[in-house]
Structure 1
Amino acid sequence: MTDWQAVFVGFVVITVVGIVGLAFPGLGQLTAGLLGGFVAGYLAGGSLASGFWHGLLAGALGGLIGGLLVWVAVSIVGLTLGPVGAGLGAAIGAGIFAIAAVVAIIMALESAVAGAIGAAVSD
C-alpha cells in the first residue's frame, strides 16, 4: 500500500532542494531528486521495492507538477499576444510539458533508487 504522506514529504524535499539547487545547475536538481527519493523511501520503510515505489512516485510527482506549471506560465504569456499568441503559447507550452514529462521519468528513476536505499537504511 502506498504511504502518501511519505510521497508528499519526498515531493516537498525535491521541490525545496530543487529551488535552492537552481544556483547549481544540473547538480542541484540531481541532489534534489536523490534527497527527496531517499526521504520518501526512508519514511515509507519496508522492503527495497516499497522504498523504490515511494521514491519513484515522489520524483515523478515533482517533475510532472513542475512541467505543468511551466506549461501554464507559457500559455499565460501567450495570452498577452492576442488569440494567435494564445494558441502559439499553448502549443509551445504543450511541447515544454512533453519534454518535462520525459525529464520527470528520468528524475523519478534516480529518486526510486535513492528511495530503495532509504528503505534499506530505515530497517
Structure 2
Amino acid sequence: MTNWRAVFVGFVVATVLGILGLALPGVGQLAAGLIGGFVAGYMAGGGIGSGFWHGLLAGALGGIIGGLLIGVAVGVAGLALGPVGGAISGTVGVGIFAFAVAVSLVMAVESAIAGAVGGALNSGADTGRSTGGQRY
C-alpha cells in the first residue's frame, strides 16, 4: 500500500532542495532528487521494494510538476507575443514536453534508487497498518 504522506514529504523535500540547488545547476537538482527519494523511502519503511516504490513516486511527481510549470511559463510567454508567439510557443511546447518527460524519468530513477536505500535502512518501520492495539 502506498504511503502518500511519505511520497508528499519526499516530493516537498526534493522541491525545496531543488530550488535551493539552483545555485549549483545540475548537481543541486541531482542531490535534491536523491535526498527527496531517500526521505520518501525511509518514511515509508518496509524494505527495499517499498522504499523503491515511494522514492519513484516522489521523484516522478516532482518531474511532472516541474514540467507543467515550465509548460505554463512558455504558454504565457507565447500568449504575450500574440498569434505568432502562440505558434512558436506551440512548436516549442513539443520540445518542452519531451524534455519534461526525460527529466521526470531521471528524477524518478534516481529517487527510486535512493528510496530503496532509505527503505532498506528503515525496513522494520511501522507502515501505518493497525495491529489491533497490540505491539510486537
- TM category (shorter chain) comes to over 0.9
The residue aligned with 1:119 is 119
Q: Shift of the alpha carbon at 1:97?
A: 2.3
- Moved beyond 6 Å, runs of 4+: none
Which has the higher mean CA deviation after the structures are superposed, 44-53 or 89-98?
Answer: 89-98
Give the number of the structure whose alpha-carbon radius of gyration is greater.
2
| Structure 1: tracts of 5 or more residues without a match | none
The residue aligned with 2:70 is 70
Paired residue type of 1:51: G
Paired residue type of 1:107: M
1:33-48 maps to which residues of 2 (within 5 A)?
Answer: 33-48=33-48
Q: Shift of the alpha carbon at 1:91?
A: 2.8
Q: Shift of the alpha carbon at 1:63?
A: 0.8
Q: Shift of the alpha carbon at 1:84?
A: 2.3
Please give the per-residue CA displacement for 1:60-103, whole angstroms capped at 9, x wherever unaligned.
11011101110110010010111221232133123212211112
Paired residue type of 2:113: V
Say what the alpha-carbon RMSD is for the aligned residues. Answer: 1.0
Contact 2:38/2:117, CA 8 A, preserved across alignment: yes
The residue aligned with 1:110 is 110
Q: How high is the sequence identity, in percent, across the aligned residues? A: 67
Please give the per-residue CA displacement for 1:32-71, whole angstroms capped at 9, x wherever unaligned.
0100000000010002111000000100110111011101
CA distance in 2, matches of 1:53, 1:61: 12
TM-score by length of 1: 0.95
TM-score by length of 2: 0.86
